[in-house]
Amino acid sequence: MTRLGICSVFQNEGANLEEWLLFHQAQGFSRFFLFDDRSTDKSRAVLEPFIRSGIVTLGTTNDHPLFTQGRQPAAFNEGLKAARGECDWVAFIDSDEFLFSPNGRVVDNLPRNPLVAGVAIWWRIFGSSGNETPPKAGVLRGFQRSARFPTTLNEAAEIFRFQNQDFFGERGRVISGNILQVKCIVRPRMIRKYHVHQPTEFFGVLVDENGKTFHRGRHLPTHAKLRINHYWSKSLSELAAKEAKFATDVAQLDDYLAWDAVLNQEEDTVILEHLRWQQS
């Protein structure tokens, strides 16, 4: 049996961790290597039953002052080492990202070619859907509007040019998160070093969901077989908290609200149909 795992770093996600874990268990993931990045909420209490059952291994991040350039990759590489002895494949995603296969099971859409080190999976990035506060229905049912996803290479090129750094570039304001981006699921024994979005040192090749060697911008992004729903904004109150968290950056709340509007352009309910399929 193919063993699937997830490595993730979280901070103050106690309200959503149970939904995230149960969803991924339903997708066939059986091991979770999680790292707490200085949480002050109820995250530990939420995770306790999963830790006792052996599904979750919980660690903490180091004291590096930077997250994406320090604490997160360090945790990912610690998780990578742990996964080598327990998993055939391990995905590196955040706790606001949900990985699934729209056409069936994740494991059935992973390549069998032994030279493939990993699969780059495109995300669909979601906005607030107009929710002022966290919806009682949860993340998956509460947020159903996302940024536009390309259907042609020309559209993809346009979106690549229109990343949020460009959107706010004239004002010198930066917000983390792009419309078109990938995260990876990899064979841990073929990976020597992992960064945030993909491995940097590995044996073999990195491919997309169609088995083509992954080159950003060369092939049309698709997510028919494997996809990640990235719930970037969540509710407007959570978006305001995100802005306050990064108050040292030059982006202001009005920038975050403008970016959220970009992330609410289209309705996307694919994951809801997938949930119904799982329950049937």
Tokens of 144: 């159903």
Mean pLDDT over the full length of the chain: 90
- Total domains, the chain: 1
Q: Which among 66-70, 112-116, 247-251 has the top mean pLDDT?
A: 112-116
Per-residue confidence band for 280, with pLDDT thresholds at 50, 70 and 90:
very low
Mean pLDDT for the stretch of residues 136-143:
96
Say which residue, 177 or 48, is predicted with more confidence.
48
Closest to 220 (Cα-Cα) out of 116, 121, 118, 150: 150
Q: Which range of residues forms the domain containing residue 270?
A: 4-279
Per-residue confidence band for 259, with pLDDT thresholds at 50, 70 and 90:
confident
Per-residue confidence band for 250, with pLDDT thresholds at 50, 70 and 90:
low
Is 33 a residue whose pLDDT tops 90? yes
Is 171 a residue whose pLDDT tops 60? no
Say which residue, 133 or 161, is predicted with more confidence.
133
- Give me the pLDDT at residue 217, please: 82
CATH number at residue 110: 3.90.550
Is 160 a residue whose pLDDT tops 60? yes
User: Which own/partner pairs from 18-22 qualify as long-range (CB within 8 Å, at least 24 positions apart)?
Assistant: 18/46, 19/138, 19/139, 19/140, 20/95, 20/98, 20/139, 21/50, 21/55, 21/56
Say which residue, 19 or 163, is predicted with more confidence.
19
Mean pLDDT for the stretch of residues 208-218:
93
Is 140 a residue whose pLDDT tops 80? yes
